[in-house]
Structure 1
Amino acid sequence: MSNNSNVENLSPQVIRQIAKEMSELVSSPPEGIKVFINDEDITDIQAVIEGPAGTPYAGGSFRVKLVLGKDFPTGPPKGYFMTKIFHPNVAKNGEICVNTLKKDWKSELGLKHILLTVKCLLIVPNPESALNEEAGKLLLERYDDYCQRAKMMTEIHAHPPKFAKEGLEMDPTSSSVGTIFKGVGGPLAKKHATEKSKTLSDKKNLKLMKDKKRTLKRL
């Protein structure tokens, strides 16, 4: 069991409810959200949210974690982005500022509702309750710059590696860039991963240069 486990702080009834909700989320996941169950600690709630189309986060996979306090479900959980993201409502340490997790919280709101709210926040950020002031300011004053910065962060940190196509098994709970590969070792595997990483990096740089040229042409 993990050191941060809250199992001993929660009643058996609450644990059963969490287990039921998690099971439902896995069997019929909300669109663009994949939940992972930690068999050793049911209170370790992690999910990957796909960046919604039409947003600067499109194409990215963002790992989020919900931390349940000992007063859950009376008190709201805390939410964190484990994947780096440039967003007005996400602090540098990944903490998420969502009203549903604070003043609008009701004990009957489930885990699915929270994850959907976090996904909605990627579509409609709220600059008025900004935890990242720079992102909030850019969103309001220079929207194009905000989009470009958010897209760049998504490119760097939230794009899943292409290694999966090579038949390597990925640990889904690891962050997308520093992905941990199971059952892969030895200098050849590392060399191959490094070369692939360099190729991807070159492609990204080329794409960024093309994007910049397009932007300059528009100006």
Structure 2
Amino acid sequence: MPLSIELDNKNKKIMIPFKNSMTIKELMESAVKRAGLSQNDTFTLEYNNAELFEDDTLEQLGIQDNTVLLLKSLNNMVQVTSISDNNNTVIPTTTTTTTATNTVAIGTSQVISCIDVIVIDLSGSMSAPAFMGSYKPGELEMKRIEFAQALFQTFIDKMVSYELPAVCGLVCFGSVAKLTFGITKNFDSFSTELGEIQANMGGTSLWEAIVLAAKTIVDFRNNPPSDIKLAEPEKLFCRVFCLTDGQDTSNYPLYDAYSYLKKNRIVLDSIPIGEISQLLLALSTGTGGSCFVADTAQEGIGLFEREALLSLGCRENFNHDGVDVPDINELKKLGGIFQKSIERKADSQSTVTCKSVVDTNTMESSGLSRGPSGKRLVKEYNNLVNDISSDPTQYPYSVYVGENNLSTWKFILKGPVDSLYENGSFVISFNFPDDYPMKPPKVRFLTKIYHCNINNDGSICLDILKDSWSPSLTVGKILLSLQALMVNPNPNDPLDVVKAGVYRDSLETYNNKAREWVSTYASFSLDDLKKAHGLE
């Protein structure tokens, strides 16, 4: 069967014989000739709204016969890009990815691996100030309920931003507990409901509310909606996340709450405000969860942006089964620690040993580069090595590739000249999916960097790594975009809202903090850097 090429704005389609070895450039040239278009114009070829890379073959891209492609002329289009590499190839500007919307596009094929139910105290005391001594003349004081809303709105926003395969529900309580919003993937409606709750109830039925949330999870897990596909039980993380400012005033037995959560492998995370609760800490510890504290709103927001708080599966040494205790007395003795931060465990790919020189011929002969992704990566690696060796001053980075794992690359990137980071060296990891280049790589800073568009876990807010990805983009162009982002942060669309707030409030403080982090985290010798990150 032939390929179908649609001509943009011409309401015309041409057919071209299918040949696996044909490159995108050859296919475009053939289409231009067959359609009688001007060969002086510049064209791109798109598949599913993604621009294709000229040097890739149809086989490398996994494009089959009878596929429909779109041929676009760039001559009449407005130029919206501005950064050029040394081959005068135009690449996208460093537009960051907006996180303003709370809609997660979870298709029926995406497997949900996280079920969360948030539990919020609506007793009258939640209208009290969130932090003692926080009041300043002329400044409105944040109430505890407002702090709770801010924390969990951040929680929802980051779940959307990181595209976590999760669903969420809401239980509110005073003297009684009530399911306020059922478990959903519609985070827009959830956020609206979260913003409307008011602290006007009496009593604190804390344990009852936690158990109601857990039962809601069990019901959902046993009878998921038809449009929700859940992960296998051993890969499904279920959590109740509770915020309260008081002690339980009901007659519900604490040990019964523990037993129900433990039996159903449901974790309790909690964050007490004001009064510290040793019993809440013990219950969290017993179920395998954590009890968090924050002394300021800024601390709380920063905590709720951490990936290990958002996703249980990201935590180091996480125990989904909790701790076995025989009775209430032993449960009360569990104790634990109140956590002000939580670190993300290292990706398995980030610990892969990578080498600066790899034999791509050996890779090809051994089958490591088999398939569209591997062949494209070999080509990009060879191009990068040739570019760096031809003019090292123009390429402020070195590349390291997993000798037995072609999908993992690491770079040592020097901070851009005349930027806050110019004296630093940063290790960055690239993890390529099996369907690269149709899907973007996962890119992460392994070296800590103080930047409002890069969070404390190294994730990056960059449009070309998400919605604006195109198969025509390359690793080299991603690196150029990262350098541009380091020079020009975007505090109006941040990934780290705390750092963005510092940027807007005091640019001098932000700049000093960025330089301080360079000195602390990015000033190691090359040998120490390579040793720490498995680079040879």
**TM-score, normalized by the shorter chain, greater than 0.5:** yes
SS in 2 for 1:127: coil
**8 A contact 2:461–2:494 mirrored in 1:** yes
Amino acid at match of 1:116: L
Change over 3 Å in CA distance of 1:181–1:50 after alignment to 2: closer
* Per-residue CA distance 1:160-197 (angstroms, 9 max, x = gap): 23xx6xxxxx266444xxx7799xxxxxxxxxxxxxxx
1:116 deviates by: 1.1
Q: What's the counterpart of residue 439 of structure 2?
A: 75
Match for 1:23: what amino acid? N
Please name the residue that 1:196 is paired with.
none
* Alignment match of 1:92 (pick from 456, 471, 481): 456
- The one-letter code of the counterpart of 2:499 is A
Residue aligning to 2:475: 111
- Quote how far apart the aligned CAs of 1:37 are: 2.1
Report the counterpart of residue 385 of structure 2 in structure 1. Answer: 26
Letter in 2 for 1:86: Y
Indicate whether 1:145 and 2:509 are aligned. Answer: yes
Which residue is 1:125 aligned to?
489
**Cα deviation, residue 147, structure 1:** 0.4
More helix by share: 1
- Of residues 127-136 and 86-95 in structure 1, the stretch that sits farther from structure 2 once superposed is 127-136
Structure 1 residue 31 displacement after superposition: 2.0
Secondary structure, aligned partner of 2:426: strand
Report which of the two has the higher share of strand.
2
Where in structure 2 are the equivalents of 1:29-40 lying within 5 Å?
29=388, 31-40=395-404
1:46 is matched with 410
Q: Looking at both structures, which has the greater relative contact order when contacts are Cα pairs under 8 Å and sequence separation is at least 6?
A: 1
Confirm or deny: 8 A CA contact 2:429 2:443 kept in the other structure.
yes
Q: Which region of structure 1 is more displaced relative to structure 2, 149-158 or 98-107? A: 98-107
Q: 5+ residue gaps in structure 1?
A: 165-169, 183-219
- For 1:61 and 1:52, locate their aligned partners in 2 and report how far apart those are by CA, in whole Å: 10
Q: Distance in 2 between matches of 1:100 and 1:117?
A: 9
Q: Which runs of 5+ in 2 are unaligned?
A: 1-346, 353-362, 389-393
Asked if 1 retains the 8 angstrom alpha-carbon contact of 2:494 and 2:500, the reply is yes
Q: What is the CA distance between 1:52 and its match in structure 2? A: 1.0
In the alignment, structure 1 residue 101 sits paired with structure 2 residue 101 = no
Q: Alpha carbons of 1:132 and 1:20: their partners in 2 closer, same or farther (altered >3 Å)?
A: same
- 174 and 80 in structure 1: CA distance in 2 versus 1, 3 angstrom threshold: farther
Change (3 A) 1:46 1:180: closer
Q: CA deviation at 1:141?
A: 2.4
1:60 aligns with 2:427: no
The answer on whether the counterparts of 1:171 and 1:180 sit within 8 Å (CA) in structure 2 is no
Count of aligned pairs: 170
Question: What TM-score, normalized to structure 1?
Answer: 0.69
Q: Distance in 2 between matches of 1:68 and 1:32?
A: 22
User: 1:140, 1:74 → 2: CA distance?
Assistant: 37
| TM-score using structure 2 length | 0.29
2:380 maps to a residue whose letter is E
> Which structure: larger Rg?
2
Partner Cα distance (1:181, 1:104) in 2 = 31
Query: What amino acid is aligned across from residue 423 of structure 2 in structure 1?
Result: G
Q: How far is the alpha carbon of 1:128 from its aligned partner?
A: 2.6
| Offset of residue 129 of structure 1 | 2.6
